């Protein structure tokens, strides 16, 4: 085992370095989209913080989901957050799998450009809706009598800009329609549905999102309408935005994105590492004629190869 690890470690390191070189080149070309998407995440957080100043607690609205689903209670509210965190972290780790695994279909930078475009479009619509009408928050810290239900007038602009992180994000009120948790989860799962390769994981991901929908309502973090609106809004936004974006390049053409190298051998090694061929012998062209495998003009008997003896 130690011999195998010692032999594979240099290959893994070369694969990581080769992949990092390509991703850095892609980041140099697309950094504006990544930066713009990240800045809008802050703007969205700023908008959610701002609507908390407008929130006025009141009686919980009549909700069909509250009649159908038993209330989890504040002590069990972590269950829905655990499901969301699992979906979130699993997707983030998957987008970086090209650095480790031989089999790969995506480029990490281009994938996040696409995902951020989906998130920005959905969050922009979300900000419009929750600023249009402020509903009384159903969450426990947003109800009448809670000190966190309303925010006092800020003492300075800096207090607003810093978002009171992370407490301000965890105990926000007023940003209800539609659920931000559902935006992230649906965008991530839809993206994996298109670019992922494991059917079982796709099925588990959809089951997790459905379960999260019920858990959000059961934990009283959102009204049912917040979840329902998220389901059709996010799916429609992703559908139409995806049609406007250029399709991701085929991963098999990775060699065209490699930096030009004077050493052709180094370029060939990078190509093999990026496309899963780690053995130099595996990349040679092969043809089969009359039961014989031809490698660079040399014939190798199949029968002899099966017995472990190569006769040329």
CA distance 141 to 163: 17
CA 84 to chain centre: 12
3-state DSSP call for residue 79?
Answer: helix
CA dihedral 256, 259, 262, 264 (to 10 degrees): -40
Cβ neighbours for 140, distance < 8 A, ≥ 6 positions apart: 74, 77, 146, 220
Q: Is 226 a catalytic residue?
A: yes
Beta-bridge partners for 299: 294
Q: How would you label 262-276 residue by residue, b for 16+ Cβ within 10 Å and e otherwise?
A: eeeeebebbebbbbe
CA distance 101 to 98: 6
H or E stretch at 300? strand 298-301
Which two three-digit tokens encode residue 222?
Answer: 């959102």
Query: For 160, what's the count of Cα atoms within 13 Å in the CB-facing half-sphere?
Result: 16
Cβ neighbours for 263, distance < 8 A, ≥ 6 positions apart: none
Q: Is 141 a catalytic residue?
A: no
Instruction: Please pick, among 55, 155, 226, 301, the residue that the annotation labels catalytic.
Output: 226
Q: Is 301 a catalytic residue?
A: no
Instruction: Please pick, among 44, 52, 55, 181, the residue that the annotation labels catalytic.
Output: 181
Instruction: Please pick, among 63, 222, 282, 296, the residue that the annotation labels catalytic.
Output: 222
From the list 166, 156, 211, the residue with the least C-alpha distance to 185 is 211
Cα dist. 16→238, 282, 306, 310 in Å? Answer: 31, 20, 34, 35
Q: Any idea which residues carry the catalytic annotation?
A: 181, 222, 226
């Amino acid at each position: 085992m130690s011999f195998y690890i010692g032999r594979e470690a240099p290959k893994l390191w070369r694969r990581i370095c080769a992949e990092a070189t390509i991703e850095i080149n892609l980041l140099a070309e697309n950094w504006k989209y990544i930066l713009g998407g990240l800045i809008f995440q802050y703007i969205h957080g700023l908008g959610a913080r701002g609507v908390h100043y407008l929130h006025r607690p009141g009686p919980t609205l009549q909700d069909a989901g509250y009649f159908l689903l038993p209330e989890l209670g504040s002590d069990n509210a972590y269950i829905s957050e655990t499901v969301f965190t699992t979906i979130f972290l699993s997707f983030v780790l998957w987008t970086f799998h090209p650095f480790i695994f031989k089999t790969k279909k995506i480029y990490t930078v281009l994938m996040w450009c696409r995902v951020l475009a989906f998130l920005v479009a959905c969050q922009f619509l979300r900000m419009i809706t929750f600023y249009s009408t402020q509903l009384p928050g159903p969450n426990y810290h947003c109800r009448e009598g809670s000190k966190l239900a309303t925010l006092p007038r800020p003492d300075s602009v800096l207090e607003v800009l810093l978002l009171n992180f992370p407490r301000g994000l965890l105990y926000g009120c007023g940003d209800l329609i539609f659920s931000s948790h559902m935006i992230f989860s649906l965008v991530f799962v839809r993206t994996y549905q298109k670019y992922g390769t494991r059917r079982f994981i796709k099925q588990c991901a959809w089951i997790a999102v459905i379960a999260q929908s019920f858990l959000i309502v059961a934990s009283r973090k959102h009204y049912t309408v917040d979840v329902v609106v998220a389901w059709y809004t996010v799916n429609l936004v992703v559908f139409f935005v995806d049609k406007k974006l250029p399709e991701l390049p085929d991963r098999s053409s990775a060699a065209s994105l490699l930096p030009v190298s004077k050493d052709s051998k180094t370029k060939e090694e990078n190509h093999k590492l990026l496309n899963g061929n780690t053995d130099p012998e595996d990349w040679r062209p092969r043809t089969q004629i009359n039961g014989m495998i031809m490698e660079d003009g040399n014939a190798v008997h199949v029968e002899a190869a099966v017995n472990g003896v190569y006769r040329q």
